[in-house]
Amino acid sequence: TDRKRLHTAPVGQVFRLRPFHVLVATGGGYAGYRKYEDYKLEQLEKRGIEAPVKLASEWEVALYKSVPTRLLSRAWGRLNQVELPTWLRKPVYSLYIWTFGVNMKEAAVEDLHHYRNLSEFFRRKLKPQARPVCCLHSVISPSDGKILNFGQVKNCEVEQVKGVTYSLESFLGPRVCTEELHFSQAPPGNSFQQQLVTKEGNELYHCVIYLAPGDYHCFHSPTDWRVSHRRHFPGSLMSVNPGVARWIKELFCHNERVVLTGDWKHGFFSLTAVGATNVGSIRIYFDRDLHTNSPRYSKGSYNDFSFISNNNKEGIPMRKGEHLGEFNLGSTIVLIFEAPKDFKFHLKAGQKIRFGEALGSL
């Protein structure tokens, strides 16, 4: 009898823990399977073969979202801040450089021993001459990365990659007060897209830039504009690499993101920093109240902050090329803005781009 009790107690404990273990193991295994699918997709792209669009089902998205990516990203963030012994820095950073193809010759400080932890290495600054800002075009790339998609916004839908769209209103959230953004009042019957366009004859445009782990992690102002409002959406932290973006519809609407809205000389302008796995930290330099991937914020909600006040009627002025913020690791920048119909992009889908290079102009 004693022997039976001795054996049944541990079995009961294992039984209570099993659902969590199964969930994590299944979700992690499925994430690994998706990584393998992404690898095959990259091989097809290198051969010039366009892969067919195959969207994830609801259960696949639910399974992926069940992986505790927010918790893992917070743990990764704390690990990144652990100071490495001097003798270990060069081997660790060299492995990262080799894996992701980092060009350290562009870094302001090339000596790997200078970076006390991984976080400092990820957020390394560049030499001033490494990224000249194009003066001939009105909109420049705010970051290094890969162009996933660009063009006009049609039918209130935006393409995250070719053939896969998401809702403009779901992505940006309810329209910000027109008085705050100094916009003209749009008729209430108009669509969400039409309400964002403030000048007759203008169109709404978008551009999606994916930052890989080896890219420069800071992002800058893409044009001269005024930031009036910030909206923070807590959410999932799923991977945003092109393979996953092609697989999950409205991926950017699921993930945590920070939407900055305001206006430029042609009307509405917005820049959205989208979080991803291991990118628990999105920092906006002039916004000290912003705290991303925080346990106090629940998914499915959003919180707003206005930069318009009695003492500041204009918001935060940003000059083209000025430092705006940074990611803790690679992620995605989405630009959605209003411009005249003769605005033209100087891009090709899939091309690599660097901060300061031209996106488009009139």
Q: Which secondary-structure segment (H or E) carries 321?
A: none
CA dist., res. 52 & res. 237, Å (int): 25
- The predicted-structure confidence for 43-74, as pLDDT tens digits, reads as follows 666 666 655 567 778 888 888 877 877 777 77
CA dist., res. 279 & res. 215, Å (int): 14
Check residue 356 and give its pLDDT: 93
Check residue 14 and give its pLDDT: 42
Amino acid letter, 301: S
> Considering the domain boundaries, does residue 39 fall inside one?
no
Residues 144/353, Cβ–Cβ less than 8 Å:
yes
Q: Domain limits at 305?
A: 139-174+193-361
Check residue 269 and give its pLDDT: 96
> Given 206, 220, 232, 254, which residue is catalytic?
220
**Tally of domains in the chain:** 2
Judging by beta carbons within 10 Å of its beta carbon (0-12, 13-18, 19+), is residue 105 exposed, middle or buried?
Answer: exposed
Asked whether the predicted pLDDT for residue 35 surpasses 90, the reply is no
Asked whether the predicted pLDDT for residue 283 surpasses 70, the reply is yes
Q: Return the biggest CA–CA distance within the chain.
A: 86
Mean pLDDT of all residues belonging to the chain: 81
> Considering the domain boundaries, does residue 152 fall inside one?
yes
- The predicted-structure confidence for 91-132, as pLDDT tens digits, reads as follows 999 998 998 889 999 999 999 999 998 888 888 889 988 899
Q: Which secondary-structure segment (H or E) carries 246?
A: helix 242-247
Per-residue pLDDT band for 191 (boundaries 50, 70, 90) equals confident
Phi, psi of 6 (to 5 degrees): -60, -35
Interval 322-342 mean pLDDT: 90
The verdict on 209 and 346 lying in the same domain is: yes
The verdict on 111 and 201 lying in the same domain is: no
Which residues does 120 contact at the CB level (< 8 Å), separation at least 6?
none
Paired with 161 in beta bridges are 164
CA dist., res. 362 & res. 359, Å (int): 11
CA dist., res. 314 & res. 291, Å (int): 24
> Considering the domain boundaries, does residue 21 fall inside one?
no
Interval 157-162 mean pLDDT: 79
In this structure, the strands spanning 323-327 and 218-220 are antiparallel
Amino acid letter, 334: V
Asked whether the predicted pLDDT for residue 9 surpasses 60, the reply is no
> Considering the domain boundaries, does residue 11 fall inside one?
no
> Considering the domain boundaries, does residue 34 fall inside one?
no
Quick one: three-class SS letters along 119-172? HHHHCCCECHHHCCCCCCCCEECCCCEEEEEEEECECCEEEEECCEEEEHHHHH
The verdict on 245 and 118 lying in the same domain is: no
The verdict on 163 and 74 lying in the same domain is: no
> Considering the domain boundaries, does residue 51 fall inside one?
no
The verdict on 314 and 348 lying in the same domain is: yes
Tell me which of 143-152, 298-307, 327-336 is least confident: 298-307
Paired with 159 in beta bridges are 165
The verdict on 117 and 151 lying in the same domain is: no
220 labelled catalytic: yes
242 compared with 223, residue with greater pLDDT: 223
> Considering the domain boundaries, does residue 25 fall inside one?
no
Check residue 68 and give its pLDDT: 79
The verdict on 112 and 220 lying in the same domain is: no
Q: Which of 106, 112, 110, 103 is nearest to 126 (CA)?
A: 106
Check residue 292 and give its pLDDT: 84
Give whichever of 138-152, 233-247, 271-285 has the largest mean pLDDT: 138-152
Check residue 244 and give its pLDDT: 82
Tell me which of 17-26, 96-105, 352-361 is least confident: 17-26
Residues 272/258, Cβ–Cβ less than 8 Å:
yes
The verdict on 97 and 149 lying in the same domain is: no
The verdict on 351 and 219 lying in the same domain is: yes
The verdict on 166 and 307 lying in the same domain is: yes
The verdict on 144 and 255 lying in the same domain is: yes
Check residue 33 and give its pLDDT: 58
Give, to the nearest 10 degrees, the angle between helix 2-46 and helix 58-66: 120
Check residue 228 and give its pLDDT: 94
CA dist., res. 229 & res. 318, Å (int): 13
> How many CB atoms are located within 10 Å of the residue 303 CB?
12
Asked whether the predicted pLDDT for residue 325 surpasses 50, the reply is yes
The verdict on 102 and 152 lying in the same domain is: no
182 labelled catalytic: no
289 labelled catalytic: no
Asked whether the predicted pLDDT for residue 179 surpasses 50, the reply is no
> Given 119, 141, 144, 215, which residue is catalytic?
144
Q: Enter the pTM of the model.
A: 0.80
Both tokens assigned to 108: 């302001």
Check residue 294 and give its pLDDT: 76
> Considering the domain boundaries, does residue 270 fall inside one?
yes
